[in-house]
Structure 1
């Protein structure tokens, strides 16, 4: 009788499996016919006002429903989108764009030069407290305006006609197309901004769209919304998807389960799931330019010692960290990411030109460690490593703790894991010895890694004249000389990372996900954090 029950139970499981398979097959057929994709994000939308957003989810929604002067193509290269042509002055500071005359908002209004002026001025206006206003440092008077030292209308942007836009830069910028692709540089419908005021972008109804999709169903606080193909989009003939159903799923395991049951076509994977699914036919992975790194408090006596910093930088087995803890990504030996920036003068990847600056070298690490201990007159050194309290960060912290205490005699290292908000506050207030963090670039240029890059307190604390001179030359004198600019950037990185060890590169993060095999054309942004749907088609 017991055997019969087991056999009968097996039949039920098999039959249920057949039913689920049939349902899944029918669902896939329906999706292909209607060109509908089901997906998710890990956090809710904060706002759809491109002057006020500051989170990844809002950025993803904006990038799928709006369009600026440039857009990333299927190879993640910035190409003209909202503009049809561009000319620049000899000194590469003044750019004139001819806007696309067939570009319209979803309500039928034309997208005009004034709409760009409206949006950009709103973003730099101090009264709007934009989280992205610092991006406008590249535009003439951008920094002065955000600091309240110049009027908003002095920003380097002018409407020369209905479809002609002029932009004046603070200094020449080789990476201008990539940075202008960002959501903080999108236009805004001037009439709607004036009509709605503070309500602009607070729900999907309080907005009009000029991108591939419109957004419906977002009330301002709910956890589900829909992208619908925009019938007024100038390039609608190349948009295959009719609909994308989006929901918020904050727990990675829930996302995986929804994917396995056929309710989602896409599910991002944390490191916990990479090994489990790496041989699954729906598994995809890629390396991103996001950095995992250590940043030191050079105002503290111990971590203010260059030999101590160099020792720590060389005492961590980064290859093993990637292999055993992260299961994705790759070790990093410089602060500027590899396979991300192609240099204009050589045609090679920047990292290839700059070479490896800091590799795992426990013998040399101990040599530097002993020099540091001698200068500090210490045999025993106590340090604290600060990390956020998410699982991956805590595991990385524990790995670093083990490596350093093994390779650096006399070190006692504790790991303090606290919420991200508190970790950021501690670093701002210099309440740390050294900190582990990750940082994602904003544009494809070494300057972003060398002058922002998550390098805590770089501007106020790091006073090396050679470094800042090289950075200044790369921004100004050599801005239009690719060969000399490259050498200045390499010199700056060598000074910052190899000689002074202000920060220690650890790895470039990987991103892994499951994707329904029926989905083609799906892509992530060059930075690996935002999903693009405009090239997607369901087979």
Structure 2
């Protein structure tokens, strides 16, 4: 009898184990949770204040504007259900979705767009992205403090009717509108929290497919959780994205190999090391690396000094021996990014090289700089973030500059990205190394922005400004003349004045588990879109 009971118990136990295993497997599949690493901390959840990639990724997954990218990375209507365009292509009238809600239940209205856009261009906001509004009527003059914010070309015709007026027609309007600077903000919530809005998840509301949770403004882990108030929540399968900051690519790769991460980005030497690992992917992207100069300081304000720096480092060697991905960048606009709508030509090929590695010219400019500055020995500081790749690139640039420019001493300061952004904003730097990725596929996005710090505030060359204005107005509908005008503007900025020193065009290498389907990468860089992800 005991044997029978034991046999029966054994059968029940075995069945239970099998059922439990099946149940766990099914439960795991149904969890729809994704675990990813990012290389830098998040700085803000405010669309008017961000200037870093981690914050941008958060915004693009938790907010939604008039347009978004579909699964083929083409812009489609999102927060709007329909749009009509005037015959002169300058006025767009949108009908907003009446079922679009903020995560606190508030309706997303036309006034939320008007409020957010006016705040973006208000000089008092000092938004690093105000220049994106140059195509919007009066955007330039308002950002310059010459007109009141209520003159911006955006108007709420009713709660769900929004009218946008441009200075001149642009071919990339729908792509432009997918960008985070053009998202709405819940006016009631922004006014409630004031300067604290966007400094933590609890002081922000969202209207996109996910919301941010567990971010207090400084911690290195947070979640994107499916937004139950999102108007199209039924199209979103993923329940949660668990994000952790892992600054060292080797650590991220090890976490991936031990199944503690589903996605990990690789940089520098680790690309070569892990390229045969299951789930390895690599692609060229329009991300750029560059150096910006603090023109408020005597040394870095000297054009000969800036040119000496720009000519003095071997970009090809950097790409080949340090980055193991990407290519040398000899202008501010990357290659294979923007193409002439009439000729089909790549902008970079048409524009040619504007800032190359040229040791002879570097030494000539260095001699002129020392003469004008009255010094034979000069010390400067290069500021970078403290991620693995940024520090390695900083060390390479330091070595190249000190070797090729005798008498130059370069010290490195590598600090957390949030601190580096703050230091740059506050002019607490000599030279800063950074990366940037665009928002729409047009060369003007790099020439008039490109992540170049204080470009609007400090670069006041009248020829440059006139060329940009002519390209945006007189030649707005003439692709050939507009193209040549933008090339002249880039030449003034990079070749003549060396306001910025281009370094490299990026490549993106990463590890991704095969169970993850539908993960999208922005057509303009490294930002991940989680909306269409499914865990198989």
Q: 1:167 aligns with which of 146, 164, 183?
A: 164
Identify the range of structure 1 (324-333 vs 415-424) with the bigger mean alpha-carbon deviation: 415-424
In structure 2, what is the equivalent of residue 114 of structure 1?
111
Q: 2:270 aligns with which of 250, 268, 273?
A: 273
**Contact residue 305 and residue 372 of structure 1 kept, 8 A:** no
| Aligned positions of 1:387-398 closer than 5 A | 387-389=382-384, 390=386, 392-398=389-395
CA deviation map 1:228-251 (0-9, x unaligned) = 333443433432323323344455
Aligned to 1:345: 342
Q: What is the DSSP-based 3-state SS (H/G/I as helix, E as strand, rest coil) of the residue aligned with 2:115? A: helix
- Separation in 1, partners of 2:116, 2:221: 27
Q: Tell me what 1:414 maps to.
A: 409
The whole-number CA distance in structure 1 between the counterparts of 2:436 and 2:145 is: 28
* Residue matched to 1:9: none
1:66 and 2:60 are equivalent in the alignment: no
Deviation at 1:476, TM superposition (A): 2.0
Secondary structure class of the residue paired with 2:345 = coil
Q: Determine the C-alpha separation between the residues in 2 that align with 1:226 and 1:317.
A: 40
Q: Which residue of 2 aligns with 1:325?
A: 322
User: Structure 1 pair 212/475, CA: closer, same or farther in 2 (3 Å)?
Assistant: same
C-alpha contact (below 8 Å) 2:288/2:504 kept by paired residues: yes
Contact 1:230 1:236 in 2 (8 A): yes
Q: Return the TM-score normalized by structure 2.
A: 0.79
Q: Given the alignment, which residue of 354, 363, 366 partners 2:360?
A: 366
Pairwise CA RMSD of aligned residues? 4.2
- Deviation string 1:19-46 (CA, Å, 9 cap, x unpaired) is xxxx999987644333221224445555
CA distance in 1 between partners of 2:196 and 2:162 (Å): 27
| SS in structure 1 of the partner of residue 407 of structure 2 | strand
Deviation at 1:486? 0.6
Work out the CA distance in 2 between the residues paired with 1:190 and 1:528. 30
| 2:14 corresponding residue in structure 1 | none
Deviation at 1:206, TM superposition (A): 5.3
Asked whether the equivalents of residues 307 and 365 of structure 2 are also in contact (C-alpha less than 8 Å), the reply is: no
Secondary structure of the corresponding residue to residue 476 of structure 2: coil
- Inter-partner Cα distance in structure 2 for 1:328 and 1:224: 28
Find the aligned partners of 1:184 and 1:25 in 2 and give their Cα distance: 46
Q: Corresponding residue for 2:4?
A: none
Aligned residues: 510
Query: Residue 185 of structure 2: SS of its match in structure 1?
Result: coil
Partner deviation per Cα, 1:430-466 (whole Å, 9 max, x = no partner): 974x664434444433223223335466567767665
- Taking the TM superposition and a 5 Å limit, the aligned residue runs for 1:107-506 are 110-124=107-121, 130=127, 132-142=129-139, 150-189=147-186, 204=201, 207-218=204-215, 223-295=220-292, 304=302, 313-360=310-357, 365-366=359-360, 369-370=363-364, 373=367, 382-384=377-379, 386-389=381-384, 390=386, 392-400=389-397, 402-403=399-400, 411-419=406-414, 432=430, 436-455=433-452, 466-499=463-496, 501-506=498-503
Looking at structure 2, the residues matched to 301 and 223 of structure 1 have their Cα atoms a distance apart, in angstroms, of 37
Once residues 493 and 123 of structure 2 are traced to their aligned partners in structure 1, the CA distance between those partners, rounded to angstroms, is 33
Offset at residue 336 of structure 1 (A):
0.6
Asked whether the 8 Å contact 2:293–2:300 carries over to 1, the reply is no
Shift of 1:534: 0.7
Q: Is the Cα–Cα contact under 8 Å of residues 345 and 483 in structure 1 kept in the other structure? A: yes
Task: Measure how far apart 1:507 and its partner are.
Answer: 0.8
Say whether 1:532 aligns with 2:529. Answer: yes
In the other structure, the counterpart of 2:12 is none
Pair 534,28 (structure 1): closer, same or farther in 2 beyond 3 Å: farther
CA distance in 1, matches of 2:344, 2:332: 20
Give the conservation status (yes or no) of the 8 Å contact 1:388–1:423.
no
Name the SS for the 2:331 alignment partner. coil
- Structure 2 CA distance for aligned equivalents of residues 127 and 310 of structure 1: 33
Q: Could you tell me how far apart the structure 2 residues matched to 1:248 and 1:180 are?
A: 29
Alpha-carbon distance between aligned partners in 2 of 1:203 and 1:429, rounded to the nearest angstrom: 25
1:87 shift after superposition: 3.4
User: What are the Cα deviations for residues 320-362 of structure 1, in whole angstroms up to 9, with x where unaligned?
Assistant: 111111222211122211222233222333223323344445x
- The separation in 2 between residues aligned to 1:405 and 1:464, in whole angstroms, is 30
CA distance in 2, matches of 1:302, 1:131: 21
Contact 2:264–2:512, Cα closer than 8 Å, also in 1? yes
The change in CA–CA distance for 1:90 and 1:369 in structure 2 (over 3 A counts) is farther
Q: Secondary structure at the match of 2:208?
A: coil
Please tell me whether the aligned partners of residues 47 and 203 of structure 1 are also in contact (alpha carbons under 8 angstroms).
yes
Cα distance change, pair 481–25 in 1 and its aligned pair in 2 (3 A): farther
Where does residue 519 of structure 2 map in the other structure? 522
Is the 1:31–1:37 Cα contact (8 Å) retained in structure 2?
A: no
